[in-house]
Chain A
Amino acid sequence: MKAGLPARFNSGLSWVLLVFLVAPALVAIPVSLTPKRFLSFPTNELSLQYYIKLFSSPEWMSSFWQSAVIAIASTLLATAIGTLCAIGLWRVSSKAGEVVRAILLLPLVIPPIIAAMAFYRLFVPLGLIDSYAGLILAHTVLSAPLVLITVSASLAGFDPRLEQASRNLGASNWTTIRRVIVPGIKPGILAGAVFAFISSWDEIVVTLFLSKFSVYTLPRRMWNGIRENTDPTVAAAAVVLMAVTLVAFTVWALAARRNRTTK
């Protein structure tokens, strides 16, 4: 059936909308290259001075590494517990299991501001405010549901008879998980890990509540820069933040494509 005029108009409109969804974020790139002393667009020449400033500033660099450490640690934790949990719920596959799954997905849908309050109130007496441990735990709770979702999706296409075969051939429970199930659901695990990483790397609302002086992540420092709205270094930081997200996203997209073509 040939598309009618309204459908073709709508398709054009949708392309415009989709570009509109991505393009504004790219504005940070020209702003970061401005030669001027304030937040502005470059007019005649471009300058890398704010990247030099960013990479030579001890504050920005420490934030960068802190974000990286927190994102990597929480990704490892979230991927481990999220994957195990998905396998567990897949094995259980009962009504009770589905109720538990719904509960475990709550951190995704409960507004982050409420999570921030809850973590803050819990962490003050525990001395976890402004600590790596506090932020890593909080980010793990918030990102493990993403792993649960992606791994569960992979498990839906995994043949349970493979597990039975492995057990019948004498493999232990743990060996079966490690050598049979995990290799079979690798795409889901990788996707979950990438999404967990990005969600921790970008996280700001909970971080605003939990970080004070000694732990100051990249989004946290950017938040200050955005509020002050003067120093163009924040634009360079935004570009770096986005670039890391984009690299993670590309890793996932390439892996997803490879899996699609090999299957």
Chain B
Amino acid sequence: MSALPRHVLNTGWILVLPFLVLVVALFLGPIVNILWLSVSEPTPGLGNYAKLFTSDSLGRIIGTTVRICVISTAISVALGYSIAYAMVHAADASRNKMLGLLLMSFWISVLVRTFSWLMLLGRNGVVNNGLEALGIISQPISFMRNELGVLIGMVHYMVPYAVLPILASMQSIDGRVVQASRSLGATGAQTFWRVYLPLTRAGIVAASLLVFIINLGFYVVPAVLGGGKVLMVAEYISVQVLVTLQWGTAAMLAALMLFGVLALLFLMSRFMKLSTVFGGGKA
């Protein structure tokens, strides 16, 4: 670093400054303030955190959130793995088409998608009417206002996020390893389970953590498709802040969520360079 002329070093930091100031002043500072609120509102102390152990409803909401997040993550990563595998093994032209579809779905508004699910999954929605017309079901399945609907909406949103880290790890595999395994007599299935899958472990772990993190704070899909029946932490926070004005409880839940997310991010950084995950996503 000392080899660089001093002024170059300085001008580098000057360029960073506007963004850094904005993030610290408008984002990190206020978040620290929220953490502070969690131990100072309405009275100083750990009263808000004690509620976790005394309030049944808080326990239930956190339980629901974690359960839905785990299930949604598992399904999204499994589906994402299948798509990533197909993409890596596809010819260039079809891989580009697949990537196009993936990125398109990545950028379609979550609000529009949630609205569409509302139309598809309702009692008289396309799915129920279709299944009835085909004679598969005799009365409508209820998808909405329950965890099934929330899961469908969440998985649908999360699959692209799961694909990208897995894709990155698959692309880094040396194809000769697979050939070596085959030429040594392993069957295709053996090669996949014993050679290929373990080599993509980092991608699977990174994808799972990323998807889990985003699921944890998911607001729109549970609020609309859950219809008040599936209460998850993010929606509960918004009710506490905007309706019942209980900042203490809301701040405590936000603090828990924040520490959870940061811990998972740290864990994720041990498996995969975070820049590959995000760089692959948006670039």
Residues in chain A within 8 A of chain B (CB atoms): 1, 3-4, 6-7, 10-11, 13-15, 17-22, 24-28, 31, 39, 41, 80-82, 84-85, 87-92, 94, 97, 100, 102-122, 137-138, 140-141, 144, 146, 148-150, 152-153, 173, 188, 191, 195, 198, 202, 204-205, 208-209, 219, 222-223, 226-227, 229, 234-235, 238, 241-242, 245-246, 249, 253
Contact = CB atoms under 8 A, between A and B. Distances in A.
A116 B23 CA distance: 14
Contacts of B15: 84-85, 87-88, 91
A42 to B, nearest CB: 12
Q: What secondary structure prevails in chain A residues at the interface with B?
A: helix
Contacts of A113: 217, 219, 234, 237-238, 254, 257
A25 B113 contact: yes
Contacts, number: 263
Contact of B278 (A149, A223, A253): A149
A106 B27 contact: yes
B241 A245 contact: no
A171 B93 CA distance: 44
B34 interface: yes
A92 B9 contact: yes
Contacts of A7: 85-86, 89, 188
A89 B120 contact: no
Contacts of A103: 20, 23, 28
A13 B214 CA distance: 25
Contacts of B217: 110-114
Given A119-B30, A198-B107, A144 B19 contact: yes
A88 B86 contact: no
A150 B27 contact: no
Contact of A3 (B89, B107, B182): B89
B90 interface: yes
Given A11-B89, A91-B8, A109 B282 contact: no
Contact of A84 (B1, B18, B117, B119): B18
B49 to A, nearest CB: 17
A205 B219 contact: yes
A26 B233 CA distance: 30
A226 B118 contact: yes
A120 B26 contact: no
Given A117-B237, A198-B107, A109 B19 contact: no
Nearest first, the 4 closest Cβ-Cβ pairs linking A and B are A111-B217, A88-B15, A14-B86, A118-B30
A150 B9 CA distance: 22
Contacts of A15: 86, 98
Interface in B72-106: 79, 82-83, 85-87, 89-90, 98, 100-105
A179 B225 CA distance: 51
Contacts of B29: 122
B38 to A, nearest CB: 11
Contacts of B195: none
